[in-house]
Structure formats: C-alpha cells, structure tokens
Chains A and B, each alone.
Chain A
Amino acid sequence: MSDPILQLKNIRKNFGTFEAIKDISLDIREGEFLTIVGPSGSGKTTLIRLMVGMDEPSSGEIWLRDERIDKLPANKRPTCMVFQSLALFPHRSVGENIEFPLKIRGVDLQVRRQKALELLELLRLPQSYHGKRIHECSGGERQRVALARALAFDPEILFFDEPLSALDYRLRKTLEKELKALHEKTGKTFVYITHSLEEAMVMSDRIAIMKAGVFEQIDPAREIYSRPVSRFVAEFMGEVNLIPFKIAGKVLTSPGEIMLSKSVTSDISGQLKKANASCGTIVVRPEFVAFGKGQAADFSVEGRVLQDYELGSRIQYEVEAAGLGLVTIEKLRMDMFDGKPGDQCTLSWAMSDCHLIVGE
C-alpha cells in the first residue's frame, strides 16, 4: 500500500465550549477517492475546512507527505476545493475563471489559454465556452467550469464540499459517474464530503462515516454496507433490520418469537462471550430476508404483510413480525411475494447474510 499523502494526527477543533472535531486521526492514501459522509452537524464541513486551510485546528497536526501544513493558510497549500456554491467569479468569463489560478502565478497568457482549452476538452465543454459568461451556463456546465478551475490549479489533493447537492437527480447521477471517471483519468487524490450516502457509494474507494465529530467507520462501500461497526452506521447506510440479542450467563435471549437454528445460537453466544459483551445486534439488509422457510434458514419468524411500496426495480414490503415490530424486506420484481397486504407469511434468512454488532 502506498504512503499516505495526507495525515491527520489527533485533530481537535473547538468552537467555544463546543467540540466540533474530537480527536480525529486519518491517513488519506495517494490517488484514492475518499468520501466523508455524515448527517448535518457531524463536523464534516469543519473537518474539510481544516484540511483545506480555511481554519486552524485547536490541536493536532496535519501532514502533507513530509511537510507539516496545519499552520499554513489556504493560499500557501498545494490543495484546493470545489465549493458547495461553486464560488465561480461572476465578473469573469468561463475561460478567465479556469485560468485564474494560473494568472495568479504569473503564467504567460498563451500558455494559460492553451491549458484552459485543454481543460474544457477534458470536461467535455466546447472550446467556444472560453469566452462565455458564467451566468449564461447551465447548472451542470458551471459544475464543470468549477472542476476545470480546480484542476487548472493542479492540486496535490482536490477537495469537494457537496458540490452536487443543488442539482436535480438525473444530472447529479450523470456528474457522479463523470467525477469518478475524471478521478481515474487524472489519478489525483479526491476527498469528497456529502450527506448523501448514495453519492458516496457510487464514487468512492473508501467511505468515512462521521458522527458528532468522530469517525465511526472508514472502509470501502461494500464493507461498510455489509459489515457496519455500529447501529448508527448500519442505519445510515440505508434500509436495515436490526435485531437485538441479550446474553446472561449461557442463556441467549432473542426478541419476540424469532426462531434460531442451533448452530446460530451457539455462534452468536460464542462471539458475544468472546468479546465479553452482554448484548449484540444482528444486522440484516432487506434484500436478504426471504418469504417462506428456505433450506439455509438460520432465522425464521411468522408475520403479516402490512404494506408494499413500489421502488421501481424492486418492491419494498413492510411486515409486522411476531414480537419483533416492523421488518423491512425488498425483493426484485422477479421474486415478488405472491399475496397481498394483510396476508400471513413466514420470513427467514441465513446467518451468512447477517452481521453481528457486538456490544450494542
């Protein structure tokens, strides 16, 4: 694995008595696409401002390769950010916006014009846009201009502060994919923050889930989705069923009228005992719950279908399971539940599709 390009060491940031960032350490790898996701107020914007240099941490160190940069102001750092508002310069043309970082450095007019035209092409904007005014561009075009401007700076790391959040759904989806392709093409390190998990999953190599000033988990999307470390992460990653277990001595108590196979009972008890925990939660995603009792059914429970929702490619069912409350199930159209809301059903799923969170 390559050396980290950016290292945060025990970063803290306080605003008065409020701790926005509580002791965060993070290694960002050279060339990766890292997304920091969290609900609003989790401190992700504060964190990115520290990394870009618009704020100074209260304590801790930030290292860019072999250089300590936490005391450097933003204009002295070789990184730059695409703002949520994009922050394009309204009094400058598209070309002048893109050339701005080069002009600042005193790059020759011919050279920077050439660079601007190359970047326009890279971002699939026609060259005639060079002289266009910003207010004549559409939302998606402005997005590309902001990206081109940031790339003209040729940063070591490119930061993004939710730049897609103001766009409509379809355009956002297109730009997410373009951004991912651009990441591959340029080979640069991208650090992206968003509150949208979907956005994070599509683009990132790794996702860092943030909650109240700390990272809950940093892993690739698939890992976070199937092996969340906490209930918070599990719930943040979309629809999920959380089933709590308690253990006292050798007796494992399961909620409601859920039936466990013998092997699963000893598996869960074993894991909990090993961690010396008194409780745990089984995480099972809606798509892994089956109607009917299958062969590998480690868990099963009786229920009644309350509601079905059309999701397009899938259908979501809300099932009232005996003593468990609501269980959410999602099925592809080809294996729909053959019945209607109000019908009784049996639900089952396998331990291999589950994940056990210990201690919560």
Chain B
Amino acid sequence: MDRLNKRIAYLSAAPILILLLVFFVAPLLVIGIYSIMPQKSFSLLAMPDFSSYSVIFVEGYLKSLFWSLVLAFSSTVILFLLCWPLAYAMAKIFNRFTLIITIAVVVSLFVSENIRLFGWLLTLMKGGLIEGLLRHYTGNGFEGALYNVPIIIFGLVYVYFPFMLFPLMQGIAMIAEDTRQAAFDLGATRWQVLREIELPLAAPGIVVGTLLSFVLAAGALAESKLLGGQTVIVLADDIETAFTYGQNWPLGSALSMLLIMIIATIAVFGISRVDIDTIMGRKRS
C-alpha cells in the first residue's frame, strides 16, 4: 500500500515536474551557458571565456545593479510601512469593508501594468492632467512630476502594492486576538505588543510580502523607463539592451545571472531566517 501510494505520488507530480524542467530549468541552463560564452557569440558551443563577467565590472553595469537594488529596497520598505496599517485593519478591524478593498485592489490587476503606468504618465507629465489643469486655472504651470527617482519608487510602490498587502494581511490574521490581549494585560504598551507579539507572529506574511515585492521590483523595467525616463538605468534595462539593440547575448545572460544570484541569495536567506513551522508552533520532531 505504501509503495503504491509512493508511485501514485510520483506519477501525479510528473506533469508539473516535466513542465518545470522544460520551461524553467532548461532556459535557465541556456542562459547560464550563454553567460560564459565569448562576447557577441550566438553559439552555445564556443570555447567558454567568461569575458562577459569581466565586462560587467568595467563598463558601469554595477551602477545599474546598484540602482536596481536601491529602488527595490526603498520601494519594499515604503510598501511595508504603507501596507501594515491597512493590512492590519483589513485582517482585524474591517469586516465587510475588507472584501470591498480586496476586490478594488484585485480589479486593478485586471488592467495591464504598462497601461496603468501610461495612465500615470498622462496624469503627471507636463501638459498632462494635473499640470494642465493647474495652468489652465492659475496661469502658472510647472515642469511636471516625472523623470526623477522618487517617481520611479512611486511607480514600483503602486504596481507591487497587492503583492505586499495580501501576504501581510494573511500574516496578521494568524495573530490570535487573545495573545495580543494577554500581552497587553501583562503590562505591555502598544509599541511593545507590536514588537514582541505582532511582528514575530506575522513574520511568515512579512517575509513572503517583502520577498515578493523586492524580487519583483529588482527585476522591474517599465517603471524606470516610463516614469523615470532616462534619469537612471536599472539592470533590467541593461539586460534588455544587451539582448536586443546590443546583440550581445552572452553579456545579457551574464547580467541576468548576476541578478538571479543576488535575488536567490536574499530569498534563501530570508526564508531560512524564518522557520515558518517554528513560528506556527508545529515543529516537526
């Protein structure tokens, strides 16, 4: 019976396993091999020379990497601070209203990210909705709010809002009401309850939310391109250029590998720091 169960388990896992092998592992492998090929080579069988990796360090790509990480980090921090109170209210305070907010946030996902960003473009640009109206009624215009770093962060926060909000809400919902009240009853201040009880107990949600936001924001391209113009170049931008305009697949692959490594390290670190089973009090023995 046990052996039969095992075979059934393998069999039912097979389709997704094959799918992952063909569409996830194989492309990753191709990128990995391309990244060690000589510059501008289109063959996977040339003599590896790792030249792309040395190019990264001399031609200012580190600056793009720096911008990608800074933008991802700051938008993640802002997202967390912004989403925590709302997620808290949705999980603990609002009743029917939670559903309305959930639907509103989800519906916004039905419209493509680029189209929504273009909406902001038309709103914020010089001669756009805000500046145009202001000029019409007051006679004084301004340069528009686009093409700077804060507006890129705004775009990232706007686009990845649901990816922080919903995991946080899940995390906060796991905090038992009694536990909070007991801490309060034992003399803890609101701040101490937050630090000692709520944040640790919501940790699984916090880890999932911040990882999702950070990983997505670090690989994001549209926000910096559309809202930021050419103010800063992010790594994803360089990758795209290398593969298309630059026709240098090995360089693009090497840049991709760099980004993948950094993100994977952060993700593994984040998940290992928070043993979800321990937090839930269900440690396997």
List A residues at the B interface (Cβ < 8 Å): 52-54, 73-75, 80-81, 83-85, 87-91, 100-101, 103-105, 133-135, 149-150, 153
User: For A91, what are the chain B residues with a Cβ–Cβ distance below 8 Å?
Assistant: 200-201, 203, 278-279, 281
Closest chain B CB from A91 CB (angstroms): 5
Interface string of B26-50 (1 = CB under 8 A from A): 0000000000000000000000000
A84 and B179 CA atoms in complex are apart in Å by: 11
Q: Bound state CA distance, A150 and B182, in angstroms?
A: 10
What B residues does A80 contact at CB under 8 A?
185-187
Chain B residue numbers with a CB within 8 Å of A88 are 179, 182
Supply 14 A–B pairs (Cβ within 8 Å), ascending by A.
A54-B185, A87-B178, A87-B179, A88-B182, A89-B179, A89-B182, A89-B183, A90-B179, A91-B203, A100-B196, A101-B186, A105-B187, A133-B283, A153-B187
The yes or no answer to B192 lying at the interface (CB within 8 A) is yes
Among B178, B192, B203, the residue within 8 A (CB) of A85 is B178
What residues of A have a CB within 8 angstroms of the CB of B279 in the complex? 90-91
Contact of A135 among B178, B182, B188, B283 (CB under 8 A): B283
Interface residues on B, range: 20 to 34
The residues of A that contact B282 with a CB separation of less than 8 Å are 135
- Given contacts A73-B184, A91-B279, 18 further A-B pairs with CB under 8 A are A53-B185, A54-B181, A75-B184, A75-B186, A75-B188, A80-B187, A81-B185, A83-B178, A83-B182, A87-B179, A88-B182, A100-B186, A100-B196, A101-B186, A104-B187, A105-B187, A135-B283, A149-B186
Residue numbers in A under 8 Å from B192 (CB-CB)? 104
Q: Is B181 a contact of A90 with CB atoms below 8 Å? A: no
- A100 to B188 Cα, complex, angstroms: 9
CB distance from A165 to the nearest CB of B (A): 14
Question: Please, which residues of chain A bring their CB within 8 A of the CB of B186?
Answer: 75, 80, 100-101, 104, 149-150, 153
How many whole Å from B162's CB to the nearest CB in chain A?
A: 27
The 4 closest A-B pairs by CB, nearest first: A87-B182, A87-B178, A90-B281, A135-B281
Min Cβ gap A1→B in Å is 29
What chain A residues lie within 8 Å of B278 (beta carbons)? 91, 133
Contact of A134 among B176, B184, B185, B281 (CB under 8 A): B281
The smallest beta-carbon distance between A162 and chain B, in angstroms, is 13
Nearest residue, chain A, Cβ from B180 = A87
Residue of B182, B188, B203, B281 with most chain A CB atoms under a 10 A cut-off: B182
User: Shortest CB–CB separation between residue A142 and chain B, in angstroms?
Assistant: 11
Q: Which residue of B lies closest to A84 (CB)?
A: B178
Q: Could you give, for residues 111-128 of chain B, a 1 whenever the CB lies within 8 Å of some chain A CB and a 0 otherwise? A: 000000000000000000
